[in-house]
Amino acid sequence: MARFLIRRLLWLIPVMFVVAIITFVLMHMAPGGPFDKDPSQRQVDAVTQKALNAQFGLDKEEWLDFGALSKGDIVGFFDTQFFTYMIGGTVKGQWRCGFICGNLGLSFRQRGLTVQDIVLKPPEGKAPWDSKAGYSLRLGLLALFFAMLIGVPLGVVSALRQNTPVDYASLFIATSGVTVPNFVFGIFLIIIFAVFLHAVPVVPTSWDSPLVWILPTIVLGFGLLAQTARLTRASMLEVMRQDYIRTARAKGLGERVVVWRHMLKNALIPVVTIMGPALAGLITGSFIIETMFAFPGWGRQFVTAIQQRDYSMILATTLIFALLIQIANMTVDLIYTFLDPRIKVN
Amino acid sequence: MASAAVAGGRSVNQAITKPPQSLWVDAWHRLSRNKAAMFGLALILLFFFLAIFGPMLAPHDPLKINSGKGFLPPAWMPAAWVSTNNVGDPQFFLGTDSIGRDVFSRLIYGARVSMVVAIIPTIFITFFGILIGIVAGFFGGTADNLLMRFTDIVYSFPDILFFVVVMFALRDTPIGDWGNGLILLFGALALVNWVGVARVVRGSTLSIKEKEFVEAARSIGTSDRNIMQKHILPNILSPIIIITAFAVPRLIIAEAVLGYLGLGLRPGTSSKEFFVTSWGSMLLEGQTAINAQPWMLLAPAIAVALVVMGFTFFGDGLRDALDPRMRGAG
Amino acid sequence: MKKSALFAIIAVFVALVVVACGAPAAPPAVVQTSAPVIQTQIVEKVQTGAPVVQTQVVEKVQTVVVEATAAPAAKEKVLRINLGSYPDIVDPQKSSFVNEIAHLNLIYEGLTKFNEKLETVPGAAESWKYNDKATELTFQLRPGLKYSDGSLLNAARYKYSLMRNIDPHTAGEYAAITDEIAGAPEWRGADLSTISDEDLAKLQATVSESVAALDASGQPCKEGADGYAQEDCLTLKLTLSRPAPYFHTIMGIWVSYPAKQENIEAGGDIWWTSPKYQIGNGPFILKNMEPFVRARFEPNANYWGDKAKVPIEYAYITDSAVAFQAYKNNEFDIIGLAAEDLETVKADATLSKEANIYPGSCTFAVMFHQKKEPFTDQKVREAFAMALDRDGWVKDVLRGLGAPTLTWIPPGYPGYKTSDSWGFDPDAAKKAIADSTYGSVDKLPEITDTFSDTPRNRTRNEWLVSKWKEVLGVDVKLNPVESTTYTALTKDQATAPQMFILGWCADYPDQQNWLSVYWKTGGFGERIAYSNPDFDKLVDEADQTVDPAKRADLYEQAQDLLIKGAPVAFMWNNVNSYLVKPWVTGLQLTPQDAGWAGAQVPTSIDIDASKMPSQ
């Protein structure tokens, strides 16, 4: 187990590097730059553009500076955009450690702010979990619990009562969960709960009240709930027909034990598999939830960074996501061994 | 619960008493008796029919702009439900969009793109997902490790950025131009969506390969390929079918979202072109007009739901029909 | 609003309890009760509910109770506005976007400002005068001006702001707007990586002389902190590198807003995120700014002019459908009205009275690349322009939220003059094609219409293409591209597409901003290769003419010349469209309104509590 963990943690490094390289290549190939904004407004003029490039280190070589090398400047050889971001380099004339020290770089758009200021720093006088990342993390976990707590039992029940009204009702929920886009579902819930029932305000003025978290949680978790319910049902049906279930029943085990201990445990493998990456997706937030509910999460950054060509934000969000995905998948692999002891992690 | 146990038991009995049939004939036999599956198949066929013969069925030219007739509600909607002052026109069954184009005709034309976009990449992602997942899960060790790290990379891959670059580079080449950019779109959608299938297949394979019957097959010297094909694959079909059926709406919406990011299909300027509109673009257009003409949103949403329902019912039925333990049952 | 939420919550709990107990529905009277009753409701809930739910429920209700008791008995008067997107940066010398300016306008004030008629009127400066050649501009500040924290505001503060705007270390996106100041382009353009410290200091010194803060005796004010405390430092003399009789108008925009040097230095790069450092001289004080949730502004008692009457609260909902619902639910007082919702609003007796639709600050046109075939031929450009029915466009595509135009400067701005050139005329359009060097449509090369891909732009461009096909019989291909790709493509002459829709929005109300800045050779119009020496001569002369009447006449000639050449097909002016609750009074609407109705003159707004709903 310890060996497995260490090995997987070491694997993080090359994977992150490959992701960084790919992202770096792509973002510099994409047309336009961070200072290209709405074309019907005044554009940044050439002089300012040059000053900005210098300020943000865009005047450096992208990968390796052979010009500096020819002058015998080894440090300068590596003082390039990529290495400055990932490992360290000169920023505004001073050496500064990069991504490996947890510096996510200066945002190109939200000027003056570093990426960690934007995503990790809570507003003045608030607790750390009130940072944007903290908000998204909390909402993502809530949505996951919501999807699990309703999705799994729904799947189990509809498998046990296959082709009954319960099963069809669950199919209906699942189908609507994946086909109704969440912007539609969101506005629908807002109209019902905020406009007609006045249970919550349409636009929450404060996220300190637990009540206002309910709608975003439902909207965010609904798609996963649908998938969970269907996958659980399908695997349950699969497992129900296995010999060992009949054996378990024949042994005279109680129905509850058979269902929960024997069936569900084996049926959960596909569910857990999608759960890992889904959790990574949920806690990196949702652009739509944030624009609909004025939710102060970091999901917006993941989407707008690319359109805004905010280079350091693109790299930071991609790498954070890569890290989360790998940790999630690592956890999933560990859970496999718990669900089915015959699976060996190595 | 109890009924399921009984069904299992009966299948064994009948398998013994009935004369042996070929797997496929038997499967079809069972499938055709499954009402839900047949309903699903009918739905799928209906939409394929629409996709192929749409131009003959649509009452109007989907690109015809009817000046001054924007946001007309369907004529059959009670006036109390209409939030605008517009009065419906019976010739537009589902009303009109913002510039007075017939929503019903656009829905029919949209079937073509959305069905193609849903099916072709799905075939790709299922194939590659299964291949990579099963190989990784079955062989384990280094192969598993490398393949799964590769999927991790693809998972975290900045796909939108990739599309921006590819679309920009290839838009004006013949590849980018063909079918209003359909090939690029297929590639883009297939490229990043197989990873989910691969992970699920691998997870299930890990569990199945430790089962007794795989041990047994191995001990009598069955080749790896045969074990994967004949013993593992049939036992992991359920999650694959679910994931595949759910990929359909995701792809339909992804097509539209890519369009929203400026990476979608090039809109056609004549109704003879392949791509006139898609359900995905209709959904996005409808979102903004949710108050003025809800059918711009409801019509494509219902269409997508029906397709998914079709695939789900049919997929479930197919899985049951192919289940070796259900042979002869039905 | 809080109260209604509280009642609603109670109602939901009542409903829950009723469902759980199977008891008959409680009479509505229960809803009227206050805190203690909630407790009993909870007790009931606790008795019937699952253990996990208990604590949650109790917690929720307690929070709500606290809020409810903390709320003042009288309704709080506050103007709640949905601004849309959250600003990237709120720094006078670095901001450039409408939503950013909407914050700065409340906190700060420039030397001049614009009134409801978009005339340039005194702001912090009580008067200004040019020398005869308009190469020197002298502002006289009001005596005794104060920042919101009570500290002195004098000419030295404005000098710092202007210097900071030009400073190459700032690299502000609007830095180029003050390039008329002598020495500014040189200092701004200095290459910081190669220039020596002495040379840089020399460049800075030149600009420092051009931006002179003077005391009562005409001597330069003291340097640094002493200067900021000098009460008679009330004159700001700008030396311009060329005659620029419009420059006082530029001093009304945000680049001269006097943020405090000590705050900027103390707060570092992120000074602007903290209300502590955002100390300004405008009609409002920034109280708090919670990213992406809201910002609150209180009236500034130290403001020299009319004091603001009500606090303002900004929210940042970008989904217009949600904002619309919130508005109907009385959660906002002012929101933007989207074209798609206009018909719903019109059909509603209440909402239709609350809609404010008035001219905006932008002109949009179909741009033709003057160096890419077939638009090298003026006849072809004319034909494409005349094939477009602007009234139909406004009615069908913009759903009435826009005004057709055939000219460049929009109504409400100095220099506006109607035109009837190249209006909708199908026959003339066909004839123009026949008269062109191509002779007929089938000899035209392939034409592609490029646009930034959004659902809305798709519909718009599909309309355009279908009209060209209908009137001229031309098949124009559509080419949707991603939005930043679009910006990148269209900003450069070499990559700019054959044709695309683009607009220009006013920075400040003056013809110079429309004609010289955009269409002069080397201006923003260079992207479509527009270059007309006669036009350049006219605007150059106008830019330097001091006499207002003569100046206006020269600009008018220039605009006529621009229109005559049909470089683009002028299409429409945007409109500002907002929903405003009936209890918001004293709105003064201008085309230049940044982000919300009445933003240009926020001090005149009040709230009539008697008209507010009693719930």
Give the range among B269-278, C442-451, C545-554 with minimum mean pLDDT: B269-278
Which of A181, A230, A346 comes nearest B283 by C-beta?
A181
Give the pLDDT of residue B22.
66
Cβ separation of C480 and B168 shorter than 8 Å? no
Q: Which helix (H) or strand (E) holds A167?
A: helix A165-179
Are A322 and A329 in contact by the 8 Å Cβ rule? The answer is: no
Indicate the length of chain B as a whole number: 330
Task: Work out the angle between the directed axes of helices A311-339 and B182-208 (0-180°, nearest 10).
Answer: 30
CA nearest to C250, candidates C110, C362, C98: C110
Q: Report yes or no on C130 lying in a domain.
A: yes
Q: Give chain C's domain count.
A: 3
B8 at A interface, C-beta within 8 A: yes
Chain centroid offset of residue A40 CA: 34
A164–chain C nearest CA distance, Å: 26
Report ipTM for this prediction: 0.86
Last residue of a domain, one of C258, C286, C302: C258
Cβ separation of C484 and A308 shorter than 8 Å? yes
C461–chain B nearest CA distance, Å: 10
Write out pLDDT tens, residues A9-63.
Answer: 999 999 999 999 999 998 888 888 888 877 777 778 888 888 888 888 888 888 8
Both tokens of C440, joined, read: 């007929």
What whole-number distance in Å separates Cα of residue C62 and Cα of residue C13? 13
Give the pLDDT mean for C408-427. 91
Q: C-alpha dihedral over C442, C445, C446, C452, to 10 degrees?
A: -130
C233 and C157 in a common domain: yes
Both tokens of C198, joined, read: 């002495």
Chain centroid offset of residue B7 CA: 30
User: Which residue type sits at C512?
Assistant: Q
Residues of A with Cβ-Cβ distance to C172 under 8 angstroms: 48
What whole-number distance in Å separates Cα of residue C380 and Cα of residue C432? 7
Task: Work out the angle between the directed axes of helices B237-260 and C455-472 (0-180°, nearest 10).
Answer: 60
Give the pLDDT of residue A185.
85
Last residue of a domain, one of C13, C37, C66: C66
C326 at B interface, C-beta within 8 A: no
What whole-number distance in Å separates Cα of residue A18 and Cα of residue A33? 23
Are A155 and A229 in contact by the 8 Å Cβ rule? The answer is: yes
Give the pLDDT of residue A230.
86
Helical ranges in B58-102 per DSSP H: none
Give the pLDDT of residue C7.
41
What whole-number distance in Å separates Cα of residue C100 and Cα of residue C94? 10
Residue C465 has pLDDT above 50, yes or no: yes
CA nearest to A282, candidates A149, A180, A144: A144
B100 at C interface, C-beta within 8 A: yes
Q: What sign has the CA pseudo-torsion C92, C95, C101, C102? A: negative
Residue ranges per domain, chain B? 23-53+111-283+292-326
Average pLDDT, chain C: 84
What whole-number distance in Å separates Cα of residue B75 and Cα of residue B77? 6
Q: C-alpha dihedral over C195, C200, C202, C207, to 10 degrees?
A: 130
Residues of B with Cβ-Cβ distance to C454 under 8 angstroms: 260, 262
Give the pLDDT of residue B323.
67
Q: Which residues of chain A have pLDDT under 50?
A: none
Q: Report yes or no on C516 lying in a domain.
A: yes
Residue B76 has pLDDT above 50, yes or no: yes
Give the pLDDT of residue C336.
92
Both tokens of C374, joined, read: 């077939």
- Write the DSSP symbol of residue A58: T
Write out pLDDT tens, residues B176-209.
Answer: 777 777 787 888 788 888 888 898 899 889 888 8
Chain centroid offset of residue A111 CA: 25
Residue B15 has pLDDT above 50, yes or no: no
Give the pLDDT of residue C73.
41
CATH architecture of B23-53+111-283+292-326: Orthogonal Bundle (1.10)
C170 and C48 in a common domain: no
Name subunits touching C (3+ CB pairs < 8 A). A, B
Question: Sheet holding C136-141: strands in order across?
Answer: C125-130, C136-141, C235-239, C211-214
Q: Please, which pLDDT band fits residue B23 given cuts at 50, 70 and 90? A: low
Q: Tokens 């629908």 map to which residue?
A: A188
Q: Please, which pLDDT band fits residue B309 given cuts at 50, 70 and 90? A: confident
Give the pLDDT mean for C405-409. 94
Give the DSSP letter string of C110-171. -SEEE-TT--EEESSEEEEEE-TTS-EEEEEEPTT-B-TTS-B--HHHHHHHHHHHH-TTT-
Q: Which helix (H) or strand (E) holds C314?
A: strand C312-315
Give the pLDDT of residue C128.
94
User: Count of CB atoms within 10 A of residue A261's CB?
Assistant: 13
C107–chain A nearest CA distance, Å: 19
Cβ separation of A270 and B200 shorter than 8 Å? yes
Give ∠ CA C106-C110-C115 in degrees, rounded to 5: 75
Give the pLDDT of residue B18.
53
C368 and C488 in a common domain: yes
Chain centroid offset of residue C433 CA: 40
Give the DSSP letter string of C487-556. HHHHTSTTT--SEEEEEEE-SSSSHHHHTHHHHSTTSGGGGGT---HHHHHHHHHHHH--SHHHHHHHHH
Residues of C with Cβ-Cβ distance to B263 under 8 angstroms: 453, 482
Are C496 and C489 in contact by the 8 Å Cβ rule? The answer is: yes
Give the pLDDT mean for C315-319. 88
Which B residues in the span 238-297 are in contact with A, Cβ-Cβ below 8 Å?
238-239, 241-243, 245-246, 249-250, 253, 261, 283, 287, 290, 297
Cβ separation of A325 and B162 shorter than 8 Å? no
- Write the DSSP symbol of residue A106: B
Give the range among B36-50, C69-83, C109-123, C376-390 with minimum mean pLDDT: C69-83
Q: Which helix (H) or strand (E) holds B29?
A: helix B23-33
User: Which residue type sits at A171?
Assistant: L
Boundaries of domain holding C57 = 3-66
C367 and C222 in a common domain: no
Task: Work out the angle between the directed axes of helices B23-33 and B35-57 (0-180°, nearest 10).
Answer: 80
A126–chain B nearest CA distance, Å: 31
- The predicted model scores a pTM of 0.83
What whole-number distance in Å separates Cα of residue C120 and Cα of residue B292? 41
Residues of C with Cβ-Cβ distance to A132 under 8 angstroms: 291-292
Question: Which of B283, B288, B293 is the mutation pick for testing C, counting most C CBs within 10 A?
Answer: B288
Contacts of C178 (CB under 8 A, 6+ apart): C162, C165, C166, C184, C250, C255
Are B276 and B267 in contact by the 8 Å Cβ rule? The answer is: yes
Name subunits touching B (3+ CB pairs < 8 A). A, C
CA nearest to B248, candidates B330, B326, B193: B193
What whole-number distance in Å separates Cα of residue C428 and Cα of residue C440? 14
User: Which residue type sits at C212?
Assistant: A
Mark A145-176 as b/e (b = at least 16 C-beta within 10 Å).
ebbbebbbebbbbbbbbbeeeebeebbebbbb
Last residue of a domain, one of C258, C289, C308: C258
Residue B212 has pLDDT above 60, yes or no: yes
Cβ separation of B246 and A230 shorter than 8 Å? yes
In chain A the domains, ranked by start, together with CATH numbers, are: 128-339 (1.10.3720.10)
Residues of B with Cβ-Cβ distance to C475 under 8 angstroms: 269-270
Q: Report yes or no on C365 lying in a domain.
A: yes
Are B102 and B269 in contact by the 8 Å Cβ rule? The answer is: no
C416 and C529 in a common domain: yes
Write out pLDDT tens, residues C172-222.
Answer: 888 889 999 999 999 998 888 888 899 999 999 999 999 999 998 989 999
What whole-number distance in Å separates Cα of residue B311 and Cα of residue B122? 12
Residues of A with Cβ-Cβ distance to C319 under 8 angstroms: 183, 187, 291-292
Are C87 and C100 in contact by the 8 Å Cβ rule? The answer is: yes
B147–chain A nearest CA distance, Å: 12
CA nearest to A187, candidates A196, A178, C65: A196
Cβ separation of A31 and C11 shorter than 8 Å? no
Q: What sign has the CA pseudo-torsion B26, B32, B36, B41? A: positive
Q: Which helix (H) or strand (E) holds A187?
A: helix A182-189
C125 and C43 in a common domain: no
Both tokens of A155, joined, read: 């799947």
**Residue A106 class from Cβ within 10 Å (0-12 exposed, 13-18 middle, 19+ buried)?**
buried
CA nearest to B293, candidates B71, B92, B79: B71
Write out pLDDT tens, residues C507-544.
Answer: 899 999 999 999 999 888 888 999 999 999 999 999 99
Give ∠ CA A30-A31-A34 in degrees, rounded to 5: 90
Both tokens of A128, joined, read: 């750390």
Give ∠ CA A289-C16-C323 in degrees, rounded to 5: 30
Q: Which phi-psi region, left, alpha or beta, contains residue C298 (left: φ > 0; alpha: ψ -120 to 50)?
A: beta
Q: Tokens 């989207």 map to which residue?
A: C338
Phi, psi of C77 (to 5 degrees): -85, 110
SS3 B92: coil
SS3 C372: coil
C123 and C21 in a common domain: no
Q: Which helix (H) or strand (E) holds B267?
A: none
Structure-model confidence comparison of residues C18 and A144, the more confident one: A144
Average pLDDT, chain B: 80
R_g over Cα of chain B = 24
Q: C-alpha dihedral over B23, B29, B32, B34, to 10 degrees?
A: -90
Are C221 and C227 in contact by the 8 Å Cβ rule? The answer is: yes
What whole-number distance in Å separates Cα of residue C580 and Cα of residue C561? 41
Give the pLDDT mean for C146-169. 93
